[in-house]
Amino acid sequence: MEYDAVVVGSGPAGSITARFASELGAKVLIVERRAEVGVPVLCGEGVSQKIDKWNILEGSRWIANKVDGARIFSPDKTMVKIAADMAGNETGYVVYRDIFDQELARSAVKAGAKLMLKTEAKELIIEKGKMAGIKVKQLNDTFEIKADIVVGADGVESKIGKWAGINTTLKPYDIETCAQYTLTNVDCNNNYCDFYLGNKIAPGGYVWVFPKRKDEANVGIGILGSLSEKGMALKLLDKFIADHPELKKGEPVRLIAGAAPVAEPVQTVKDNLILVGDAARHVDPITGGGLTTSLEGGKIAGHTIGNAVKKQRFDKETLSTYETSWKKAFGKKLHRNYVVKEIMLDFDDKTLNMLADSVKDYNFQEFSTLSLVKALVFKHPTLLKKLAPLIKLV
């Protein structure tokens, strides 16, 4: 084989997988269909500060801003604040995702991985009934890349899993369809990541305002696919901005669209195959955020690949260490938050207002969705009774 592993996609999950596999001595190639790693950005660019503990990103070029906390606004503008001083001073960053992704790719390359741009996976190579790499198109050339393991790190629209017979098609109620402006000349004196809930504001989702600097913010919207109509996300985002004078005075320097899986994870391992990141649906179904889980899962995948290469065994059983380990690390959390998502979808605006009002003075111990969910379960054991057993599990 030319390579021990070929990773399709140079996003965070792909790069971190490549890095940790390479560090264990595996020969790894990353293929990226785009011309620049991390570009265009498809992300709200908010991430929990817990990534600091993992020591996977050097320097601070990827950080746009460290926020003081998060504020959630119910439809009647009741504010729930999770501030740094209550949460052990650990909050979150707003990042430059292009630089963020390039830093991760750089660390993969530093560990020995190879990287090809403008190289698009076209199909899987099957030899003697086994997966043996991928066929790619690079500019005008089509050629084969032989590898013992194929890693699908090809994002929300993943084809690798599908080609390998894993049903990765998202149901409309399992996807958030998103649009986002980066607005400049806005007023971000409150250094918080803000979330606005409401069935008229963002059906089945939310609007976010993430400050990148004093006068610049990512202002985006995600709405649930099953509640969406043609072009609704952008229309509702424009309306939200028009209704908020502090944002209305800004001008956009960037417009992006996106899609976030808010689903239960899929099967992530087959003989000679691993799925990571958005392709594996390693995304928090409440927030649609997938950076931390993608990095955590990718690191595990990298270790699994490294060990598989040492043993020269690439069957499902060997690679299943990855699936067992990510389930242990964050599988319960993803499942629990999927249940929370389903329960929340039944709440009308009145209920959201009531819930926000009941926890608005709550002293949150941790900067996480879990601390918020715990508070709500504590205050409303009957309303959220489906959740109680899941909270105890954690």
Interface map 208-227 toward another protein (x if CB under 8 A): ---------------x-x--
**372 touching another protein, by CB under 8 A:** no
Which of 259, 274, 300, 319 binds another protein (CB under 8 A)? It is 259
**How many other CB atoms are found less than 10 A from the CB of residue 95?**
26
**39 touching another protein, by CB under 8 A:** no
**229 touching another protein, by CB under 8 A:** yes
Nearer to another protein by Cβ, of 9 and 331: the residue is 9
Rounded distance between C-alpha atoms, residue 302 and residue 347, angstroms: 40
Which of 25, 88, 165, 231 binds another protein (CB under 8 A)? It is 231
Taken as a whole, the chain contains a residue count of 394
Which of 14, 92, 261, 297 binds another protein (CB under 8 A)? It is 261
**234 touching another protein, by CB under 8 A:** yes
**109 touching another protein, by CB under 8 A:** no
**117 touching another protein, by CB under 8 A:** no
Site for another protein in 46-85 (CB under 8 A): none
**256 touching another protein, by CB under 8 A:** yes
Amino acid at 374: K
Closest approach of Cβ 162 to another protein, in Å? 6
Which of 47, 175, 209, 375 binds another protein (CB under 8 A)? It is 175
Which of 116, 232, 345, 370 binds another protein (CB under 8 A)? It is 232
Closest approach of Cβ 79 to another protein, in Å? 27
Listed in sequence order, the residues at least 6 apart from 261 whose beta carbon sits closer than 8 Å to its beta carbon are 156, 170, 174, 175, 278, 281, 283, 290
Closest approach of Cβ 256 to another protein, in Å? 6
Amino acid at 17: T
Distance of CA 365 to the CA centre of its chain: 24
Which of 40, 88, 165, 389 binds another protein (CB under 8 A)? It is 40
Query: Torsions phi, psi of 15, nearest 5?
Result: -65, -40
Q: Where are the alpha helices (DSSP H) in the chain?
A: 12-23, 97-110, 160-163, 232-242, 245-248, 291-311, 316-326, 332-345, 349-359, 369-379, 388-393
Q: Which window, 91-99, 128-136, 251-259, 367-375, contacts another protein (CB under 8 A)?
A: 251-259
* Residue among 156, 149, 147 at smallest CA distance from 178: 156
Which of 157, 243, 315, 348 binds another protein (CB under 8 A)? It is 157
Q: Which window, 11-19, 87-95, 127-135, 229-237, contacts another protein (CB under 8 A)?
A: 229-237
Let me know: does 195 contact 208? Beta carbons within 8 Å. Answer: yes
Rounded distance between C-alpha atoms, residue 34 and residue 40, angstroms: 9
Closest approach of Cβ 291 to another protein, in Å? 17
Is 80 buried (19+), middle (13-18) or exposed (0-12) by CB count in 10 A? buried
* Residue among 196, 186, 203 at smallest CA distance from 246: 186
User: DSSP 3-state helix, strand, coil percentages of the chain (rounded to 5)?
Assistant: 35, 30, 35
Chain contacts with another protein (rule: CB under 8 A): 33-34, 40, 42, 155-159, 162, 168-172, 175, 177-179, 223, 225, 228-235, 255-259, 261
